Structure 1
Amino acid sequence: MARGLTEPELKAFAVDLAADPGGRRLLGVLFLHSPFLSELALAEPQVIRGILAEGPDRVLDRLLSDLEREAGTEEDTSRCMRALRVARRRVALLVAVADLTRAWVLETVTAALSRFADTAINLAARHLLRRAALQGDLILPDPALPEHRSGLVVLGMGKLGANELNYSSDIDLIVLFDRERIDYRGRRSIQDCFVRIARDLVRMLQERTEVGYVFRTDLRLRPDPGSTPLALSVVAAETYYEGMGQNWERAAMIKARAVAGDIEAGQNFLKALRPFIWRKHLDFAAIQDIHSIKRQIHAVKGFRDMAVGGHNIKLGRGGIREVEFFAQTQQLIWGGRDAELRSPATCPTIRALVAAGRVKPEVADAMIDAYRYLREVEHRLQMIDDRQTQTLPPEGPELEGFAAFLGEPSLDAFRERLLHHLGAVEDHYAELFEEAPSLAGPGNLVFTGSKNDPDTVGTLGEMGYADGASIATVIRAWHTGRYRATRSTRARELLTELMPALLTALAHTPQPDAAFTRFDTFLSGLPAGVQLFSLLHANPELLKLMAEIMGGAPLLAERLGQRPALLDAVLSRDFFKPPPPKADLAAEFHHALEQGNDFQDRLDIARRWAKDRQFQAGLLVLRHHLDGGPAGETLSDIAEVAIGGLTPHVEAEFEHQHGKLPGRGLATVALGKLGGREMSVTSDLDLVFIYDLPADQEANPPHSNGPKPLAPIHYYARLAQRHIAALNAPTSEGKLFEVDMRLRPSGNSGPIASSLDGFLRYQSVDAWTWEHMALTRARVILGEPSFVAEIEASLRQLLSRPRDTQKLHADIADMRRRVAQQFPADREWDIKYRRGGLVDIEFLAQYLELRHAPAHPEVIHANTGAALAALARAGVLPAADAATLIDALALWRRLQGFLRLTIGQEFDEAALPDGIKRAIAAAGRASDFASLKAYMAEIGEAAAAIHERFLGRA
């Protein structure tokens, strides 16, 4: 059979074939419908001649024995690869002719294809083992048959394992090695050796050369293919399946078969895996998870609106996969207790289910008839161009030609017959576990197996995801136990149940892909998943809220990843109520700190408490229950309580080493956003530390009374550093706040802490105008009461002193111009620097405060809104102007707080989804996004005009 025909022999054969009516029909079918088979018939006519002379069975035997002889002892890789490819061409032609002429039934066709695959894989494995032995890596027990007791296990999965290989099928293999059966002498690891064998096995089978390929080969059905090498030890594989194996992998292993290499070792491995594959006792959750394999596919009983053209007869509705899942899901449930249900082949399994009383005979007949017909259609599709396809041609002449190739009398007859089978499969598939709710959602949501399901990717696209393929890949990785949260069987079963609702909830967010990515990041950090998945499963509203956080608030999503237990808190009745007053927060924080065993404990507790409270405030902002001024006040209260609650512990820790000093100690002054009680979720703390040094001690200051005494200047500098560290030092819980000390006297070059006299001296003599502007927002938040009162009075006196109003005007106008040069005012969504934005309003308020405080000291207020109202009451700012500025300020605060929570610093209006625009409009209390923009333009211009009337154009 290896020898081709001579030219005279070929001519004589062609004449004989053309003279035979059956031969003419065969040639007509080949050359009319299949470019691939036409080419093979011209290249390998001896195959057809052999079939006609001896029958296909004897020709197949001879082809395989010839291949065994040619490739079995070949040491040259390229010649071995060529022999395999030539044999594949001849087998492909043989099987096609036997199928087209009805010489073989379906089972004979698939068995022949599988038999050739077994032979080809084993010969390639034999070649690679022999090569490894020649290189000195392996000592083979039987050099004549290198695979014998070699320890190399090659499992055939899927249709190959079940001896049901289709015409142009790829093959799914798992490559393992049994260390106990291998005499390894190589310099690298034994795993490295077998990984190279696995890699080269794939290359020998699937690399295309001038004579074609053997099989497209896929190794992704091995345990956790995204993170494991191409070849695993049998111990590692057994450990994975026993601890992490999923129900879909149990289903896959039903069809597993040792096809090449050390067959005995392969059979031993599969025998050891029987308890995993065939579980005798299944709890409710496991049965639900098996049901979910079926329920993830969108099947509707009695629905017949199906197009034939373009239909995928494997993955589409009523297709081959539904027949296979119909059999396998029932095998998983009943096969552990009934060994008769353990056949790897589809049709025998369905018949066994009838014998066991699990399936009605008429249902089995319908499913088997449909399966056989659909497999025939599949083979014809693949014979056309030797492509792994299951999709019918589109409606028209191409589909009509295909019907003829299939042997149907007409396209209408083909359509009627196909729809009959597809409908029967869909009906019976939909009836399976009919009492269980669907997990398919709007369409297929299948995340089993080693490859993405095309229909699932399409469903994800229809749901609103831009990159459905990437999302499906990530979800499949979840099911392999890649993350700690999905390593337990129960967690994966719950996740399967949760998946449709989770994906639907994330799809309803403004940015589904970003929301999904954040959820994946969140999931990757969880130490366990059962509790969370159970919580989400039992609380659909909580699932929606989590999706809202993932889709709309990156900062909150990050915090939730650090503290998943916050979801429990969200379920409490009080969570969405208005935040408690500052005194209640202080009592709560004090109680929390009392639980700490030491100072480090208390630092962690402080961080957890503050971040949890910030999370709650952020969620209230996200839900529009809290915004603008109230949100700023709440976040400022949280910061003040945290600073005040930690201070006694910081000082006690410090005094243990350095003792105390006489006087009223250290006071903390807040400026900026904290000073004005206008903090957002991203605000840092602008702080200044002032200490008390009585006048009679300045000349000869005392030292502290601790084991390591310090003079006041060093004592308070170090104590201030300890306070700062307590706030911004990273612990296991992260930082509490970032602290900015640049507003202290002389900025970064000045002392960390100043005496009150020194501070007032600097502010009176050396301070710039901008430093006095910053002081308008000063608020003493911590200190001995009489010292606090003295500082506040001193600050008010300092800010109320007469000043050169022309210089004040010139300094502030010049400063605004310089800010405008660095941050142009024409950016609409730059809330801080835009025309009529926060800087314009704050600069104007501070200018008017400093200008009119000598006559009206009551206008000094740390909060900008309060200052504007006081300026109006004092008659130095028209009431209408004050109202406009206060309205503008409130709008900017609402928008800034919401945008920093949801979008961050970068704002690209053109890229905003409609959902985000609606949320921003709601934050701005506008009916829609266009209305919000119109109002922003209107009030921004009005605020800018008022600013320019007093300070000129920037």
Structure 2
Amino acid sequence: MDMPATPDLTLHPSWRGCTWPHPADDRAATIMHENLTQACARAGLPDIASIAGVRVMTDALGGNSPYLSDLALRDTEAFLRLLLDGPDAHVREILRGLEALPPETPRIEVMAALRIAKRQAALAIALADIGGAWTLEQVTLALSGLAENALGAAVRHLLLHACQTGRLRLRDPENPCRGSGFVVLAMGKLGARELNYSSDIDLIILYDPDRHPGNGELRHTFVRMTSDLVTLMEARDANGYVFRMDLRLRPDPAATPAAVSFPAAIQYYESMGRTWERAAMTKARPVAGDIVAGRRFLKHIHPFIWRRHLDFAVIDDLHDMKARIDRHRNAGHADLESLPAASIRDPETATGWLLGQNVKLGQGGIREVEFIVQALQLVWGGRRPELRDPTTLGGLRRLRRAGLLERAQCAILVRNYRMLRQAEHRLQMRMDHQTHTLPDTRDGFARFATFMLAATPGELASSMLSVMQHSRRNFDLQFAENDRQDITIAPEDVDAADRLRDYGFAPHDIGDALQILNRWDGNRLRALRSDRARKLLRRLLPAIMTEIGGRQQPLTVLRRFDALLERQWAGVQFLSLLERNTALIHRIVTVLDCAPFLADHLAETPSALDGLLDMDGGPGALGTATALVRRHVTSAQSAEQVLPVMRGLVCGEEFRLSVARLEHRMGEDSTARARTAMAETVMRGLLRVVTGEHRRRHGTVPGGAMAVVALGKAGSHEMMPGSDLDLMLVFDHPPDAGESVVNGTVGTDGMRGRPLAAGTYFVRLAHAFVAALTAPGREGPLYEVDMRLRPSGSKGPVAVSLSAFRRYHEESAWTWERMALTRARVVAGPPRLAARLRHAIATALDHAPLTDEESRRILHDVRHMRERLAREHPAASPWDIKRRRGGLMDVEFIAQGLQLLTPDAQARNPSTRLALLRLAQAGTLDMADARLLRRADLFWRSMQGLVRIICGSVVPDAIPQASLEILMGEVRARNATALLDRMDDMAARVTAIFDRLIPPIADTPAR
């Protein structure tokens, strides 16, 4: 390096404004200054110590950190370059040098290059940290980048060496890592790019045997490479060492070699992986070797890490881990949370408490903040991918935005984390020791306080202790054991009958109730065979029995809860979920009491419990569910791959909406819109996936496409529980499209090799789409599909061309088909086709003003169809909301029939309520009638939706009393008689309007 002969040098602007700590040891600082002057003279460099602004920097190094002082003195040329270039450029140049290190470099030179880079970067990063030139994120990112680039250079060298010695065949020796199948997976702080100053690096070494078929020595080769990698990184020589490696996070480290094959690792995680390993894998990241293979491995074990169903048992697992750490690390320490404020404010007491405290593993330490983030991410991250941030600070921000941490909680955790990470770095910088323990003497703590820029040791201690205590309290909010009394109600308990009577059980029900509780107290239920599950149940039993006993038929509800518990595979997870969400007990008991149909569904589909937890009921919850569908669809290659995930999401969303309706937290309109939005998202995503599969199998029709039209309740944004999808599939292609094309050649049917005509191509695509929607699964199909409203009904093709659709509605459509078309909406398909199809639908409904004869014919057709349906499918009971006279069908027929009469396109709308409003505004309908019909529409849809939630799709003859109370609460009726009277009155009003607007027309032929 060519240096000026005079010391007329200036520090880089990055160093201006830095605040440097005073030397804790003045004598060591003076010696550092003298030694630096002498070292510069020996190297023929200008006297660095005489450069303006350097003295306070070197005093901070010499008086606080023997390790950093040694780094500056060992390589004065690099130190001078750092001062002149600034930390950003200096570290960037070091990392570039590692990236450019040729893999064919001799082993001894590789070792030296790695160690020199580590030494120079360590000094630069430490100075930027101590002076405040860099934030914590910049410091940890630079340390992580150093480790990552060092590992990359070492692995490239080792792979090429294995190739050159004949132990390994590489596809591209000039780029040894690509396709090698050898992966260095960073875990912990390196994986999250949060590396400590003197941290070990936690790694898992993996290899993919499929990349090297026929190599019988593969395992031995990669295990030996791993051993060589440890030597390259850890061995100490005259240049020091690079990083200490810790390989103990690999699967079953006591029984597996240092390098583990993909199949072995995958099998381990899928069959034996534990909670702490899931937590560790949230930060996993391939950093060296075959990065593509590493990402492929992580994608394969993604379901192990991010479970689709909410799992609050993970909180207990992490609590147990932290409790073991506390017992091991905090012997002799008073409980931090119980320290009085006066003790924290007193400098002497605060300092005494902190002496010897572990800032990482101790109470209020770094690990507790990390545990909070990881626990909440593991519980919620499977369903809410936006929470998955491997960094602690990033994770805290995302949890706050999601509402899972309060703003004040998040602020104290962030402050504590930053403060303790800074303290951790200062502790480690002093001697390059991997320590997290504060000095155990007051003199040592005073020196540490000086390094931390504190005015006095007591001031630092009080400040640290206050923040740590608040952080500890937040930790306890998430992990502390609840102090609930464990009770058992069993037949041998002499007070059992009295307890049940106090809970609200009738005397004649107590015997049967005790039999159920006796089953719970023994080992007869699969869910309660573990001691932990039984302990959880004993703690929860008072809350469960109080909630059940408050119902009108507590024994019936207890039996349904027993059925639910009996079908749980993992009792610990289910009961942990109840313990962490006590409001869930009320929601479950409400379902068991008021909605037998939902109760059976809940027992048969435990994943539906997830829907009970997403109970905000607003657009945020819906947005989460639809976003999950979109995300899974984006990465899916086949319908078979995405359907199980979709079914679970649709099932959970339906259950969430149903319970929200039962509790009157959402109205019928908002749940109908949410249900319809979910269906639309599924159809759009599934159409893309199925179309992609179809194209790969049969090619494409040039210029051709298919769109999905929703009719009925899906078209009108009014889907109810159990609603079918009334669909019509329409395709279009240029007249000369001919046959499908694959890579410029004629496509075939995939089996017989015959050319596939354009019409046949789209009919098969339509069949594949409908098959995907209706394919059975554990939760049932996604949706039932009804396609009878398409042109020519069930006799016509499953998909119709756009030209045929236009022609049919110009020449052949029946009145009832045009009525159905008033609720038609294009919900999926390419934008250009969707626009043409919307125009075709509007054209089919548009007409000039009708003659009186034409109007009478339409009204006759509407009346004729309603009477025919009444004869063929009469109302089964007063609860047959749809078919009863004056019920929902009559309201919809009025809206649809009147829309066919008006020539005003602005008076039409797929929504019944909006159509009625627009018809009144256009003068086609009297405003008073419109108001009554709009009220009736909401009334009937609300009633029918709740009846379906309570009883399922079968119309009941009677409604249970507990369920009747839900219906009475919906319309604010005093009792069941008042409710039925309200229904009869509404039906009579609607019937009167129907008969007036759509009267019988004698002797007019129906078409």
TM-score by length of 2: 0.47
TM-score by length of 1: 0.49
**Bigger Rg, which one:** 1
